[in-house]
């Protein structure tokens, strides 16, 4: 991180800062405290109010001193026929809620552990594992909901703006990226995610094929566009045809949101756009 970037800068500028898989939840909690609502923040480089959907969900995702389930920014049936209503209901209301509850419970257990004065490495290891798992699950689902929208509202198609340039630079072309990303996400063994992430260190986009919610993450890389490839994300409609689900999911990707995410992270790191 740029050493000239103060904590106040992080708090006021950094939305997807909150999305660091590698930065840890302590940093995430610090960023979540006493911050202004994300929607009231100016976009870097201009005077427009921040209209980022992900930012609004992030603002809901930690509230009242606890992690919380953000509301879906559209109806449960809004992504039909690509993602079906029943899957969205179960996925958001039950699965995501489960990670939120698990995260809060784990943090409470860790506090109890510290206060107990106990020294039990096995117990602590298990709690730390739960922290990583549920924290990753909460964040990735929050970004997942915010980076989808119905085709009628701009979902699908090809990216524009900075994200389009970054994809062309780092993957050759959008078509090449799509094929590569689909393969990486489709090839996840068991439960996990395909993630387009931005690594500020090299001003570079990378694709991660993550296991569960936290394994094979790249420290410091910020997830910009995650696709959930756990079976709970697609099995009711697509059964074992994960690749058909990924192909359909591309029809509801909100590339405008992905572009905003990239701009935010670059602004936070004072990364000049390299073109």
Binding-site ranges for Mn ion (CB under 5 A): 95, 228, 230
Using alpha carbons, list the distances in angstroms from residue 179 to 161, 171, 173, 250, 270: 20, 10, 10, 11, 31
Q: Say how far apart CA 7 and CA 10 lie, in whole Å.
A: 5
Minimum Å gap between C-beta 249 and Mn ion is: 12
Q: Say how far apart CA 247 and CA 231 lie, in whole Å.
A: 15
The DSSP code sequence of 148-208 is: B--GGGT-SS---HHHHHHHHHHHSSHHHHHHHHHHHHHT-SSSEEEEEEEEGGGTEEEEE
Q: Helix or strand or coil: residue 266?
A: helix
Minimum Å gap between C-beta 224 and Mn ion is: 18
The answer to whether the beta carbons of residues 252 and 156 sit under 8 Å apart is yes
Indicate the residue among 214 and 228 with the shorter CB distance to Mn ion.
228
Task: Report which of 40, 60, 59, 58 is spatially closest to residue 50, judged by C-alpha positions.
Answer: 40
Minimum Å gap between C-beta 230 and Mn ion is: 5
Minimum Å gap between C-beta 142 and Mn ion is: 11
Q: Say how far apart CA 160 and CA 258 lie, in whole Å.
A: 10
Minimum Å gap between C-beta 188 and Mn ion is: 12
Which residue minimizes CB distance to Mn ion?
Answer: 228
Indicate the residue among 230 and 250 with the shorter CB distance to Mn ion.
230
Indicate the residue among 145 and 264 with the shorter CB distance to Mn ion.
145
Indicate the residue among 35 and 213 with the shorter CB distance to Mn ion.
213
The answer to whether the beta carbons of residues 142 and 61 sit under 8 Å apart is yes
Residue whose structure tokens are 């939120």: 100
Task: Report which of 50, 110, 95 is spatially closest to residue 267, judged by C-alpha positions.
Answer: 50
- What does the DSSP 8-state code read for residue 67? E
Minimum Å gap between C-beta 124 and Mn ion is: 27
Indicate the residue among 84 and 162 with the shorter CB distance to Mn ion.
84
Using alpha carbons, list the distances in angstroms from residue 24 to 19, 71, 241, 244: 9, 24, 34, 34
Indicate the residue among 139 and 265 with the shorter CB distance to Mn ion.
139
Indicate the residue among 200 and 226 with the shorter CB distance to Mn ion.
226
Indicate the residue among 95 and 165 with the shorter CB distance to Mn ion.
95
């Amino acid at each position: 991180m740029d050493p000239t970037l103060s904590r106040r800068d992080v708090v006021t500028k950094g939305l997807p800062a909150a999305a660091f898989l590698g930065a840890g939840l302590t940093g995430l909690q610090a960023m979540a405290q006493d911050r202004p609502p994300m929607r009231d923040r100016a976009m870097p480089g201009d005077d427009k109010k921040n209209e980022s959907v992900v930012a609004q969900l992030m603002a809901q995702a930690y509230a009242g001193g606890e992690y919380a389930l953000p509301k879906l920014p559209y109806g449960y049936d809004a992504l039909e026929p690509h993602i079906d209503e029943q899957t969205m209901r179960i996925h958001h209301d039950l699965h995501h809620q489960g990670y939120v509850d698990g995260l809060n419970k784990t943090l409470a257990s860790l506090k109890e552990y510290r206060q107990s004065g106990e020294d039990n490495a096995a117990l602590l290891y298990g709690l730390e594992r739960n922290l990583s798992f549920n924290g990753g699950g909460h964040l990735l689902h929050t970004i997942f909901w915010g980076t989808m929208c119905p085709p009628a509202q701009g979902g699908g198609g090809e990216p524009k703006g900075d994200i389009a340039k970054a994809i062309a630079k780092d993957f050759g072309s959008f078509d090449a990226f799509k094929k590569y990303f689909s393969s990486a996400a489709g090839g996840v063994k068991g439960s996990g995610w395909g993630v387009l992430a931005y690594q500020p260190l090299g001003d570079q986009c990378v694709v991660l094929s993550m296991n569960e919610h936290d394994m094979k993450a790249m420290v410091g890389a910020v997830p910009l566009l995650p696709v959930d490839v756990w079976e709970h994300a697609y099995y009711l409609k697509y059964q074992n045809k994960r690749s058909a689900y990924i192909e359909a999911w591309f029809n509801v990707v909100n590339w405008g949101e992905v572009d905003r995410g990239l701009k935010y992270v670059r602004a936070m790191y004072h990364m000049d756009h390299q073109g």
